[in-house]
Every structure is written in C-alpha cells, then in structure tokens.
Structure 1
C-alpha cells in the first residue's frame, strides 16, 4: 500500500536550483518511494535577514514507507547533499520537509503533519497548489485555496 506524501524542498547554498534538481532525482530513487510530480522552482527571501534567497519547490511522492521512515530517508538525502545542522534557521544546502502524508494528522516529537508553518509560507503553498486538484483540502479540513488567499505571493519569484 502506498501513501501520497508532499515534500517541501528548499536551498540557499551551493547552487540552490541544482541542489533541488539533485534532490528530485534522489527522491525518485529512494527505497520505497516514487516521485510522482515536481512543482516549478520559486525563489523567496529568507525568513531571517542577512541570508541568501532560497529556492523552493514541492514534490509529490507515492511511498510505502511509514512517516518516520520517510523522514529518515529525507534526512539521509539532506546529508548526502552536504546539509550541516548547526542552527535551526541557518542557511542550508538542502531542507526537505514532510508537508502532508496522505490524510494523516501526525504530532510526535520528530514530526508534525501537516507541517506546522505551511499555512503561512507562500513558498510552500504556491508550489503545492501546482500539484493538487482544485478544491484540495488538508487533512485538518483547511482548504488550500483559503490558505493561499490569506498568504499573498509577495516576495516570491518563479524561476
């Protein structure tokens, strides 16, 4: 049995667009996953001043992995692409976040799904909207279209 998962991708170091392209390829090759679709790439300002702009995207995966096993696989891809975890909000070669995992609501110490800040991040919502049908709802009942209306495209640039 497989579950559709949506993964947020971000990078602001070491050729970010190339980092995301490499990550799409790695996601498609990870054991127990199949890359179904990838959004376009977007650039956005960093959430913290003084950092380079981020390049962001969203991937749709079908996976037979359980949520924490998928998280482990994503962290292995991050590590393979040079991710160094020095600070929570620091610059990074690659950041992979589980945004949605089927219709599951998950709240454990290592993972919260839907991703806890996705509702306020245009760099997540707009790429996600490219991959889901009109009328798409998150597992907690919120409509993606409503979240987008409340989170303008300000600061985003499509590559």
Structure 2
C-alpha cells in the first residue's frame, strides 16, 4: 500500500515538473509570461477568511506568498496524482494508459477556471481578464502537458 502512495506522489510531482518545464519553454521560445505563484500563495493564505476576492492584489500581502504558492502548486499536483491512481485503480500503475491521465488533466482545468480564477478576482474561467480566450487555451494546453507528465512519469516508474 505505501508503494502505491509513494508512486502516486511521484506521478503528481513528475507531472507538475513537466508542466513547469513547459512554462519555461514557452517563456524562452515565445516570451510567454511565466506563471506567478505569489498571488496564488496570497490567495491560499487568505482562504481561512475568504475564498472569493474582487482582486487578490488588494488582499493583505503575506511575507512568504511566493513560497506558499509554489508549495500549493506542487501539493495540488500530488493530490491529482493520487486521485488518478484512486480513480484508475492501482493496476493502472503497472500498465499505464494515456486516456485516464488525459481525462484527469482536462477535468483539473475546472479547478482553475471555477475556483482559483474567480477566487483571485479573475472571474469564471478568467472572464475578467483582458485576454480570457488566450488564458483558457494556455490552460488547456498546460493541463494536457500535465496529463502527459502523469502518464510519462507512470511509465518511468512502473
């Protein structure tokens, strides 16, 4: 049982690392702005008081919000790795297939669109941002890369 848990955690970490490498590639090749995890850290810090903000930038700063945002980013990736193994079953670890990872990757976009974005004041699916269509497309692509990371890490550690 502990082997299954550790492998699930590793799958979540591996997928999150690949997603971060993808963001670095987009920055290097296309000049796409890197994700800023500090506002996410501020949002997480303020969850004890409030979930939905008009603008997370107006909330009181937290000294370690960047570190908290990064930690939360990896925590969520780990949780998604565990969810994948729970839903697909432990047998998936011995013979991973892409479809369950892909489905989970796309489903997880919903957490960003319907919890994180409105929670930070960006509106549902970033509707209050000047470029919501671009943000949504990048979210879908990034979460597909995350799915590839889930699958690829599972293949590497099987």
TM-score, normalization by structure 2: 0.30
TM-score normalised by the chain length of structure 1: 0.30
Structure with the greater relative contact order (CA < 8 A, sep ≥ 6): 1 or 2? 2
